[in-house]
Structure 1
Amino acid sequence: MESLDPAVDPPVDALQSVFHLYETQRDGDRILYYGESLVPEQMLIREAWPAFREAGYEIELASTETHEDIVVARPVDTTINGFPWKNVLLFVATIVSTLLVGAITWYYVPPSDLLADPLILLQAWPFTAAILGVLATHELGHYIMGRYHGVDVSLPYVIPFIFPFGTLGAIIQMRGQMPDRKALFDIGVAGPLAGLMATVVVTAIGLTQSPIQIPTRAIEQGGQAIIFNNPPLLNIIAATIGEPTAYNDPRMSVSPIIIGGWVGMFFTVLNLLPVGQLDGGHILRAILGSAQERVAALVPISLIGLAAYLHYGLGYAFNESVGLWAFWGVISALVAFRGPANPIDDTPLDIPRILLGVITFALGALCFLLVPIEVATVG
């Protein structure tokens, strides 16, 4: 057996009560402990993890083809290694995609004008700032809280896309083990709360801006247009500051900045679905423990049932929120199947955090709409 240096290596004594150790080997920066587990995997990790984490390592249990158990200890690395090229390139690409979609869709710039002078794209910078401000604030909430708890999390990845917003949102990756329910809750709740604060600010700013005049050509062309209905929270903000959310003149439209607020509210609803490793799944797993999975199993059924009700009960078409909820019913089933993030220490949460979780879901409910989008004929 290879001898270890107690000054720099994990305390092997932490394994003795739960693991019959045969041999120790090094593999790069990893330490491999070969032997036989004396307890179930979760119990082994729970018993040995605190001492290893204090020494700067995370552990997991693996098995060999000969049915021998291996405890793999890896150094915890929460530093940013090198320049985050992928994050920056995706962010720049999303700036371009939101400027392009914003200019054409929300500022009514003809594509021919963009070809003649690409700098006209910059006219849509308020839309881009609103969208990316809300999404980035949400993900940075997760990132900062993850770093605070010593969990290995990536910088945010913003995803470029096309109509109607120029982006599919943003994500971060949690690569480290979750220490306890407190960390799981704090990381999960930080995103929605930070994002909602940014959403309220962006919405209030948008409501106070001058309306956009819809060009005559856009009205005369007719056809179909997507109507984004107001979530309750948007109406509350508008009523609080005394600003309208629509105009009697069909040639006038609200500032595209408000779309950033709408996106923040809708993405909050989706992120707070209590399934798997979505924000709502993290929060509810921290509050309820393993019982969260029983709740998660009901979410896909509820969303698909909602889509069926809209279509067969209320007569909405597939492109009027029916397909939206059906799609997320399928997505939530896939996310739920992968399961939640399970903390090492499963000690129940304190009352203040539970109350904060309830408040967060209540705020998310203010962003929910039965029919977020409808299709209307114009012209």
Structure 2
Amino acid sequence: MYESLKTPFTPPASLEEIQQHVETYFDVVSSSTEVHGSIPIYLYRIEKEVHTKQPFKRLLADVREKDYTVFLQKGDTSEYLRIIAVPSIRQPRSVIRGQKEAVNDVKERMIGEKEKRKEAGDQLPTWTIVSLLLTLVTITFAGYLLTSAFGEFSTIPLILTIFFYVLSLFSIILFHELGHMIASKMHGIETTYPIFLPGLPTIGGSFGAYIREKEPPVNRDELLDIGLMGPVFGFIVAMIVTVVGILLSKPNSNGNSLSSLPLPLLYQYLSQVLRPATGNLNYHPIAFAGWVGFLITGLNLLPASQLDGGHVSRALFKGKIHRILTYVIIGILLLVGLYLMAFLLFFITRGRHPPPLDDVSPLTTKRKIFAVLSWLLVVLTFPPLQFSTLSTF
């Protein structure tokens, strides 16, 4: 793959030049160079300090002007930390986990960098548009199925009910992704456009969407912000949609397919408060959009792998604890019958969760509280589903 590298790589700065910047903010004990292939990686052993977050951010800003990126990690002993400096020729979502991975990442980015960026820039908007259209089709068909079932209880034309269902569910998905994009923008991280995921019409018509960050977050604070703001934005819209949908629902002794599903605790509470003593409800399609929104929120906030909740978990805990939590969540998903979700999590868990550049500085106390509250949101929004139950739609 790398045969085209005919000449040794010339680093944009020397070990000593980068060390001058490191010494501005940290006490350097020793330094060394490791050459992997033709890529020199600079290693600096520094004294362990209590406050590393702001000094590291300033150091990162300095060395980026030298076309370098630095990483702050735990050292080989408890008394020291380690800074790794690598040439920062970037590629979307390049996350360096260690010395070997750093070398491979730099090599890949050196080869055809401009061509890759141009190709990615041409393809991404196309995939966004195609995925958007497909998702709108599947959501619309789901709206048709739900509206037909609601039929006799509707006071507006069928096509308008379908439109409001599509608007409701798509708004939840869109605001979820906007939350991620806004958090990334706040921290100066570029993102791709969202790719929408069409789903089975019988379970709402969409599996959500995703975006990618073009570079890793600087520290755990940024990692948590990016992971958490998406579900929070989506949840707020899902709450509004659910309230409107329940208010539009009609009493019916038999109820409908949504009545037979296990409802999230928060959904049950809203139904009892907004429609007390009405018995079974024939839930409006908009109410079902809210139910799907709660499901998307609950699933995404599970503290596992690279889900949004996984980002929160990785920001809060060490990598080992994060991996243990992931396998616990996979086991729980198997117990409640979400076999496909469990398989997907197991598949993407084979690799490590990419750490932030600064994997040493802890979260702020405020963010730790938000992380714990996100688990409460999982309890409130996540229904114990089984695929056999979903087949009733």
The amino acid that maps onto 2:375 is F
TM-score (norm 2): 0.67
Q: Which residue of 2 aligns with 1:293?
A: 323
Instruction: State the shift of 1:282 in Å.
Output: 0.4
Instruction: State the shift of 1:55 in Å.
Output: 5.8
Identify which of 207, 211, 214 aligns with 2:246: 207
Instruction: State the shift of 1:182 in Å.
Output: 0.8
Instruction: State the shift of 1:106 in Å.
Output: 3.5
Work out the CA distance in 2 between the residues paired with 1:334 and 1:366: 27
Identify which of 126, 137, 142 aligns with 1:96: 137
Work out the CA distance in 1 between the residues paired with 2:333 and 2:231: 21
Q: How does 1:208-357 map to 2 (within 5 A)?
A: 208-211=247-250, 227-240=260-273, 242-243=274-275, 247-248=279-280, 253-290=282-319, 291-304=321-334, 306-307=335-336, 322=337, 325-346=338-359, 347-357=361-371
Question: Cα RMSD between the aligned structures?
Answer: 4.3
Q: Which residue of 1 aligns with 2:40?
A: 35
Identify which of 163, 179, 187 aligns with 1:125: 163
Identify which of 123, 133, 138 aligns with 2:176: 138
Contact 1:276 1:335 in 2 (8 A): yes
Q: Which residue of 2 aligns with 1:51?
A: 62
Please state whether the residue corresponding to 1:169 is helix, strand or coil: strand
Please state whether the residue corresponding to 2:39 is helix, strand or coil: strand
Contact 1:184 1:286 in 2 (8 A): yes
Q: How does 1:139-218 map to 2 (within 5 A)?
A: 139-164=177-202, 165-211=204-250
Where in structure 1 are there 5+ consecutive unaligned residues?
Answer: 23-31, 41-45, 111-118, 308-321
Please state whether the residue corresponding to 2:354 is helix, strand or coil: coil
Q: Which residue of 1 aligns with 2:78?
A: none
Cα pair distance change 1:123/1:193, threshold 3 Å = closer
Number of paired residues?
320
Work out the CA distance in 2 between the residues paired with 1:237 and 1:302: 26
Work out the CA distance in 2 between the residues paired with 1:354 and 1:235: 28
Identity of aligned residues (%): 23
Please state whether the residue corresponding to 2:374 is helix, strand or coil: helix
**Alignment deviations for residues 64-90 of structure 1 (CA, whole Å, 9 cap, x no partner):** 9xxx99956889x9xx95782322332
Contact 2:147 2:161 in 1 (8 A): no
Work out the CA distance in 2 between the residues paired with 1:69 and 1:81: 23
TM-score (norm 1): 0.70
Instruction: State the shift of 1:179 in Å.
Output: 1.1
The amino acid that maps onto 2:186 is Y
Work out the CA distance in 2 between the residues paired with 1:199 and 1:104: 20
Instruction: State the shift of 1:15 in Å.
Output: 6.4
Please state whether the residue corresponding to 1:337 is helix, strand or coil: coil
Please state whether the residue corresponding to 1:208 is helix, strand or coil: helix
Where in structure 2 are there 5+ consecutive unaligned residues?
Answer: 1-7, 21-30, 46-55, 70-87, 89-95, 152-156
Please state whether the residue corresponding to 1:107 is helix, strand or coil: helix
**Alignment deviations for residues 138-195 of structure 1 (CA, whole Å, 9 cap, x no partner):** 1110111112212232122112233211222211122312211011000001011111
2:147 is aligned with 1:106: yes
Q: Which residue of 2 aligns with 1:359?
A: 373
Cα pair distance change 1:245/1:10, threshold 3 Å = farther
Please state whether the residue corresponding to 1:230 is helix, strand or coil: coil
Contact 1:94 1:160 in 2 (8 A): yes
